[in-house]
Structures are given as C-alpha cells and as structure tokens.
Amino acid sequence: MTPIEKRAIVSLSSIMSLRMIGLFMVLPVFTLYASQLEGATPFLIGLAVGIYGLFQAIFQIPFGSLSDRLGRKPIICFGLLLFCLGSLIAACSHTIAFMLLGRALQGAGAVGGTLLALAADLTPEEERTKAMAIMGMTIGFAFSIAMLIGPLLTTWMPVNGLFLVAMSAGLLAIFLLWKAVPTPTTTIWRRDAEPELHSIFTLLIKPELAKLYSGIFILHALFTASFVVIPIGLYKFAGLTANKQWTIYLPILLGAFLLSLICIGMAEKSRQLKRFFILGILLLLIAECLLWQFDQQIFITGIALCLFFTGFSLLEAFLPSLISRTAPVTHKGSALGIFSCAQFFGIFVGGAAGGWLYGKFSFAGVYFFCIMLTLLWLIIALLMQAPRYLTIQLWRISPSLTHHWENIATKLRAIPGMVEVTFIAEESIAYLKMERDALKHPDFISLKEQTVGYI
C-alpha cells in the first residue's frame, strides 16, 4: 500500500474501533445499572440492551445508499453525531424510557457499511481485500477490548460515565474523520463493498448463504440474551458488583483470546474450517449448559464464560470469511450487507427475548432458550458444505479486447479449478474466483499476459 492508503485504513479502522468500543463496553455491566432506572422491567432492560441492533439493521443500507449521492464523509459524520447524541442521552437518563431513546440513537448512527465503502474508495482493487481484512480484525480486537475496559472503568466512575466515554470516543472519531482520513477523488458504488438492492432477495434464498445469515443472527442473539443475565448472576451469586466484575473478565478474555487464535491458526493450516466451525458451536452449547445448571457456582461459571468467549471469537472470525468465500464475486457487497443486518437484528431479538424470558422464568429460562438456539444452529452447521479455499482476482480488460471477452471467458472456464468468471461491461472489469492451483496453470498465465493489465 502507498502511504496515503495506509493512512486511510489505519484512520478508518480507528474510527470503527472507537465506535465499537463505545457501543459494547457498557454491555457487561448494563443490566445491573439499568435495573435501577425508573420504570425498569426485565423486558424493558433487555430491550434497552438490544434496541441499538434494530436501528443498526434498519439504517445500515439506507446510510450507504445516501453516501453514494451525498458523499461518504458527511454521512459518516452525521451517523457519528447521532451516536454521540444517543450516548449523551443514555448518560443523563434516569428512566428506562430515555435509556431506550439513547440506545436507539446510538444504533441509528449505522455507518459501519459506509466506512467500508469509504475504504473501498480509497484503496485500489488489488489492495481492497487486504484493507477489508485489516478492518475486520480491528473490529474483533476492539470488541474484546470493549468487553474488558467497560467493567474496569467502573472502578473509577459510575456506569453512566461509560456513556460519556462513548460520546468522547465518537467525538474523537469525528476529529479523525476530517483530519486523518483522506478525501476520495471519486465516490462511486462498488459491488464488492456495497449492497445492490435488486439482488438482495436472490441472495437471501441461496441455501449456503442463508445458513450463514442464520448463523450470525443466532450468534449475536445468543450473546445478547446471555449478557442480559450474566452480570446479574455474577452479582447475585458471586457478590461481584459492577466495578469488580473486571476481575473475572480479565483472565477469561485473555484465555479465550489465546485459545481462539490457536484454533483459527489450526483451522487455516489444516484446511478444516468446517470442523473448527462446529467446534465453536459446541463450545457455546457446553457453555450455555454449564450456565443453565451451575450458574450459582462461580468456578464453573468462569469455565463456562471462557468456553463461551472462545467459541464466540472463533465463530465471529469464521463467519465473515465464509460469507466472502461463498458469495458470488459480483454480489459480495450485497451478501455482506444482508449479513450485517442479520447480525444486528440478532442483537435486538436476543436482548428483547432475554429480558422477557428473565422476567418470566428467571436465569434458567434465558439459558434454556440459548441452548435451544445453539442446538438449532448445530443442525444447520452440520448441513453446511465444507468451504472451498479459493482466491479472487480482478482483471481490467482493455477496451480494444472487450469484444473478444466471450472467447477469453470460455478459455478461462476450461481451466481446472476455475469456479466463477464474470465480466462487468460498464466497469471493464472481470471478476475471477478460482482454486489457487489454477493460478499456476499455463493457460491462465498465458491469458493473463495476453489479455489484460492485471489489477
């Protein structure tokens, strides 16, 4: 990457991380705090935990479409201002109604997709996959940091102070947006980074993609429903107040992070991603069963949480990768848009269901619900096809050769290991998806040298 491209990815990753930390750092201690608000009920507390996910799901795609017409930076700035306003309202809330409003506004600033689109504007095609991977890893790391620093900060400030920290993170993100992020020379819609509305229904009903959308929905529903009751259980059964719960999260998150990294490395090295994917679901299932039966025993709860975070981290890393590998190359942006909406809708459903079940059936009801969801996911995962290890290349076709494209495409499709060959005439770009061995095939090398300037 050039220095400008590196600056773009570092600054955009920082903005996304600041927003992610602001959203998630309150989660481990939120239910304890929200239970003290006027008008709070278990259902409304659960709704407040997850309502930002609903608004993220609703506004994610519209914000991206608006940014194509009005520019990326103004839309991102507006979304971050909404996030800051929501954080301020949540910090000042004394009633559950105002907390719901604040959390909804936090979610309404749904600029994650627009940030990815801006990254696509600022990076050439040959560096785009790398840029998206860097931003994805940064999000995962920010999530782990958020889960740790939220409880840790409550040793120095009240829980509502976390929302003021979130607002400060949002303001810092706005500063970085205007001072550090380069301004793109052109803002255009790109099919590998943004949704295409007319292709969404087709992608929704593709069986292998539908299994992955279901997976991300269930994963985040499990996570949010579990964290409606986990902070309450740590307080009720272990005597850990909000400002002391970091003592259990710190070793657990560090252990889970290391275990998940080891498993991810083994999965990629052995090319047994499906096996480790199912292992991640089994870890979640075991964790929920332990919490269901032994939620009053702090040592077993600690083991269960370590298994839970390990499984969650594994699956959170695998699912976007599987979407990228499974989606048609020319509709990857649309598939990722649906994936993101499913993720946030899962957060909403998990929070609302977790709160309602806790109010009706206490801890056991929530954990049993999570067990049933995990079992359903395990069945879906067992029916998944093992992913193929493919690579993607983009070729920019010279205008003088476009009328020969059908002959070129026929020769490319005949190469062993070639999976997908698509030419987009208006962009003069060919999208190729293939097994790595196809890159070494003499016909492929010859066609590349004769036909195009490779991107």
Give the CA dihedral 233, 99, 44, 232, nearest 10 degrees. 0
Same domain, 180 and 212: no
Please answer whether residues 342 and 203 qualify as being in contact, where contact means their C-beta atoms are separated by less than 8 angstroms: no
Same domain, 369 and 272: yes
Please answer whether residues 256 and 280 qualify as being in contact, where contact means their C-beta atoms are separated by less than 8 angstroms: no
Residue at a domain's end among 387, 413, 434: 387
Per the domain annotation, does 217 fall within a domain?
A: yes
Question: pLDDT of 43-63, one tens digit each?
Answer: 999 999 999 999 999 998 888
Question: pLDDT of 22-33, one tens digit each?
Answer: 999 999 999 999
Same domain, 351 and 364: yes
Question: pLDDT of 301-358, one tens digit each?
Answer: 999 999 999 999 999 888 888 887 788 877 777 888 899 999 999 999 999 999 999 9
Per the domain annotation, does 327 fall within a domain?
A: yes
Angle in degrees, CA 438, 441, 447, rounded to 5: 100
The enclosing domain of 336 has a CATH number of 1.20.1250.20
Same domain, 98 and 232: no
Question: Is it the case that residue 216 has pLDDT exceeding 90?
Answer: yes
Please answer whether residues 346 and 218 qualify as being in contact, where contact means their C-beta atoms are separated by less than 8 angstroms: yes
Q: Return the percentage of the chain with pLDDT > 70, whole number.
A: 96
Same domain, 116 and 90: yes
Question: Is it the case that residue 433 has pLDDT exceeding 90?
Answer: no
Same domain, 310 and 440: no
pLDDT at position 48: 97
Same domain, 335 and 296: yes
pLDDT at position 454: 43
The enclosing domain of 426 has a CATH number of 3.30.1370.10
The segment with the largest mean pLDDT, out of 110-114, 324-328, 354-358, 410-414, is 354-358
Please answer whether residues 192 and 128 qualify as being in contact, where contact means their C-beta atoms are separated by less than 8 angstroms: yes
Same domain, 344 and 316: yes
Per the domain annotation, does 193 fall within a domain?
A: no
Residue at a domain's end among 185, 216, 245: 185
Same domain, 282 and 262: yes
Question: Is it the case that residue 148 has pLDDT exceeding 90?
Answer: no
Which residues fall within 8 angstroms of residue 291, CB to CB, at 6 or more apart? Answer: 226, 230, 233, 301, 304, 308, 363, 367
Same domain, 209 and 97: no
Same domain, 80 and 220: no
Per the domain annotation, does 194 fall within a domain?
A: no
Averaged confidence pLDDT in the chain = 89
**What is this structure's pTM?**
0.90
pLDDT at position 455: 41
Range of the domain at 88: 1-185
Q: Return the percentage of the chain with pLDDT > 90, whole number.
A: 55
Per the domain annotation, does 432 fall within a domain?
A: yes
Same domain, 371 and 422: no
pLDDT at position 370: 98
